[in-house]
Amino acid sequence: MKNSLSAGGLVYSTDTGRMCPGCRQPVVACTCKQAQAVPSPGGPVRVSRESKGRGGKTVTVIKGLPLDVVALAQLGKQVKAACGSGGTVKDGVIEVQGDHCELVLQMLNKLGHAAKRAGG
């Protein structure tokens, strides 16, 4: 009788954490992120405040950063730490919980991004 593990391979493991569906590597070592193209700078970086569709919670949204996925995630982490709040980076947009537009604008301008306030 054969060993069931050798017949089908590894079914589930918690050693590496989440796996990228594209390259089948751990998310932290994903090669798909590096292959994605850098978006072209289509104008200034826009910083706005949104609350629609979020149950009344306010978030600061940063759009239009001409960075690759890894650099965008790193900048998102820096912005969240500077604001002292949580947030996320998804689809090329950084979202920070709370109304931190002025602080984010100052930070982005110091880092050399042409950031402008969008919305009211």
> Which residues of the chain form CATH 3.30.780.10?
38-117
Mean pLDDT estimate for the chain: 79
- Per-residue burial over 83-109, b if 16 or more Cβ lie within 10 Å, else e, is beeebebeebebbbbbebbebbbebbe
**Higher-scoring residue by pLDDT: 36, 98:** 98
Q: Regarding the domain delimited by 38-117, which CATH topology (the fold level of the hierarchy) does it fall under?
A: Translation Initiation Factor Eif1 (3.30.780)
Tens-digit pLDDT profile for residues 16-73? 677 777 777 777 777 675 555 445 556 788 999 988 888 888 999 999 888 888 888 9
pLDDT (0 to 100) of residue 37: 46
State yes or no: pLDDT of 110 exceeds 60. yes
Q: What is the pLDDT of residue 85?
A: 92
65 contacts 92 by C-beta, under 8 angstroms: yes
